[in-house]
Amino acid sequence: MNKKIRLGQFFTKKSIWLKPQVLEFIENSKMKNIYDPFAGSGDLFKAFDGKMFTKQIGLDIDKELNWKYNDSLVWIPHEKDAIIITNPPYIKKHSAKRQGINLQKYFNKSEYDDVYLIALEMMLKAQKFVVAIIPESFINSNFKDKEKLYSITILEENPFYDTEMPVCVACFDGIKKSLDKIKIYKNNNYVGNLMEIYSHFLKPINKIKIKFNDINGWLALKAIDGTKEQSVIKFDFKQNIKYDWENKIKVSSRHITLININVKDSLKNKFIERINLILNNIREATDDVILTPFKGNTIKGKRRRRLDFKLARGIIEKAYVELNNEI
């Protein structure tokens, strides 16, 4: 098996991750040393070109990389006057199992389902200041120490040589705070705070009968943005979306689906319009951040997104209630 896959390694390129707000956070930490417990090829050290920091401290589990050996998913030693700046490994529990990678010794001792979340937990135990390039899905993860975040910067330009994984830069200052104090950026631009983003998530109440992946459903959902500008996430009538519905809809379908919900024929057009309006309002209000990131960008360089079924259900329920209240 490819060693990079086994170790969950992805190597960064250039310094496109080092946005002005990230650099400002690093400078304001006043730390003298840069510390990477997942040092890899040392690219993050190179980003500073020997400037700003007095000393570079690197650890890695790969003995061929000439760093001090350490399994940083188990424990990370504290270093004085150091800020962790790193790109930890990413691999989900189910992906590791599917690929025959034995990581159970880490997952058995953790509540998390991806090794990067375990890595974050270890890093925050070791140091107060942490800057980590991690999957953008972190924003909607169950990580328990989000209150120690200072900011999150979503990177739409790919900082890696060897993967299209959508990522963000998470900056932790070790101080617990309310979520409205945590800043969210997309590239160089401020989007809002984390509490604002979360406030737009419509939690399903599950009191309306809605069935996803139903071959008899009339409501179609294209749940992923395409690469072209007009190819966006949308709800529509089944016949308006070209797809082999009869043969391709499965219980496991997540990218395109048929939904069954009881709506009068005379109201179906209005219902679809209302669902798409709610969806697009959420996208605009959160600058898409509330939606799941999807690999690759549009031809204009914008991050593609996926609408998960939980949020889709919440949107459908809201439209259903609104429409029935108007009748």
Domain residue spans in the chain?
Answer: 3-199, 211-326
Residue 298 burial (CB count, 10 A): 17
Q: Would you say the C-alpha torsion 146, 149, 154, 155 has a positive or negative sign?
A: negative
Helix (H) or strand (E) holding 321: helix 309-326
> N- to C-terminal Cα distance for the chain?
60
The pLDDT assigned to 322 comes to 95
Radius of gyration of the chain (CA): 22
Residue pLDDT, tens place only, 292-310:
999 889 998 899 999 999 9
Residue pLDDT, tens place only, 167-197:
999 999 999 999 999 999 999 999 999 999 9
Residue pLDDT, tens place only, 217-230:
999 999 999 999 88
Query: 68-69 and 55-60 as β-strands: parallel, antiparallel, unpaired?
Result: parallel
How far, rounded to the nearest angstrom, does the alpha carbon of residue 83 sit from its chain's CA centroid? 23
Residue 118 burial (CB count, 10 A): 22
Residue pLDDT, tens place only, 95-111:
767 776 767 888 888 89
pLDDT-derived band at 326, boundaries 50, 70, 90: confident
Contacts of 308 (CB under 8 A, 6+ apart): 223, 254, 291, 292
pTM to 2 decimal places? 0.90
Return mean pLDDT, the chain.
91
For residue 246, give both structure tokens. Answer: 């009869």
The identity of residue 197, as a single letter, is: I
Residue 247 three-state SS: helix
Tell me if the domain spanning 3-199 has CATH number 3.90.180.10.
Answer: no
